[in-house]
Homo-oligomer: A and B are copies of this chain.
């Protein structure tokens, strides 16, 4: 590819060994970069250091939910000066379920090349391992926090899933995983299939698909074993 490029660099989910995160050719590619836009400096430095880079020689910009449009524009300055750069999210794929998409959109508008690298996606790993419909699915992000609205949304997603045979994928802030799980059991039909995928890529990863009926009395231990662990929920009615 001619000209400077914005590389989209996946980050570890749980397993932080580089040999478990990126294909080796992609590690070599990332090592050639000097400029990075990251969500959190500390995590990014630790990761790039684990990839064998001297982080003192790197230049970082920070992109998170507080970044203004003006700051966003400045973050692409290295590309305008002819330098390729890397975009990293906090975990998994940049620009999926994080604020990175706005930077990618700006790179397209500037006519720069955008190259996605291969790495772990908790959403896709959970979907692959669910056994639910992988030919039609939707990622819904976070459900509403207030119980009334949340339960209404759960019922709407279950109905949509039944109508379209579309697997519904959603996530929750880890400390609310247990209450979301209980709400799913309370709101969904006995025969709906529910997958819980916790702490993917780690030795204690838990991935299980059961009907709502089968889950009752066999709930994952969210209060001790999987306390505050990242979890992906998938539902197919």
Does any Cβ of B come within 8 Å of A119's Cβ?
Answer: yes
Interface size on A, residues (CB 8 A): 63
Contact of A58 with B by CB under 8 A: no
Question: Main SS of chain A's interface residues?
Answer: mixed
A residues 118-133 near B (Cβ < 8 Å) are: 118-121, 123-133
Q: How far is A1 from B115 in the complex, measured between Cα atoms in Å?
A: 35
Contacts of A108 in B (CB 8 A): 131, 208-210
Residue numbers in B under 8 Å from A113 (CB-CB) = 207
Q: Are A135 and B97 in contact (CB under 8 A)?
A: yes
Interface residues of A in 161-209 (CB under 8 A from B): 166, 200-201, 203, 205, 207-209
With both beta carbons as reference points, the residue of chain B lying nearest to A113 in the complex is identified as B207
Q: Is A21 an interface residue (CB 8 A)?
A: yes
Q: Is A105 an interface residue (CB 8 A)?
A: yes
